[in-house]
Amino acid sequence: MGLFRGRKLKAYGPGRRAGRGKGGGVVRGFLGGFTLVELMVTVALVAILAAVAIPAYVNSVRRSEQAQAVEALLRARMELEAYWADHNRYARTLSLLPSFESATQGKYVMSLQVWADGQRYRLDAVRPDVGDRLHLSDNETKPVLDTPKALGWSIFQWLFD
């Protein structure tokens, strides 16, 4: 029968007569309901699945937003290098770069710091609501995540760290 079994009840109730089966016995029906324990087990299983799935989903959304910031940093670096090729110095502001009309890229705010001689730079991408910060400078090949734990708590980090 398994975990979800019902109770046997008579097929007749008040005002109804009992029928007779082939063997002459009283016909009985099957009540297809669930017991309270079965429902509590089901609710507990759904709660456990939600406790794992919701943080994982939120982290995946935040990681995709972080990937957009990484893409914006790499695009800015490429445009800064093109500006260097034309002017023999780096652009002083992001607005001088073709694809940066605004410093906001998705949920991240971009900033550019250029040294006084115009020969070095540092790009920053900051997400103010969670405190996530990435940077990329002229001597780095890929963006660096300054705040690795900023994107939030994860049950997987808690279990496996």
d(CA 91, CA 113): 9
Domain assignment present for residue 27? The answer is no
Domain assignment present for residue 4? The answer is no
d(CA 23, CA 40): 39
Domain assignment present for residue 138? The answer is yes
- The pTM of this model reads 0.65
Domain assignment present for residue 120? The answer is yes
Task: Give the domain extent around 130.
Answer: 36-151
d(CA 122, CA 114): 7
- The total of structural domains in the chain comes to 1
Residue 151: predicted pLDDT: 59
Residues, the chain, total?
Answer: 161
Straight-line distance from the first to the last Cα atom of the chain, in angstroms, rounded to the nearest whole number: 42
> Cβ(151)–Cβ(59) under 8 Å?
yes
Residue 42: predicted pLDDT: 96
d(CA 123, CA 79): 12
Domain assignment present for residue 21? The answer is no
Helices (H) and strands (E) in the chain, counts: 2, 7
Domain assignment present for residue 9? The answer is no
* 94 Cα distance to chain centroid: 29
What residues in the chain have per-residue pLDDT under 70?
1-31, 149-161
Residue 28: predicted pLDDT: 61
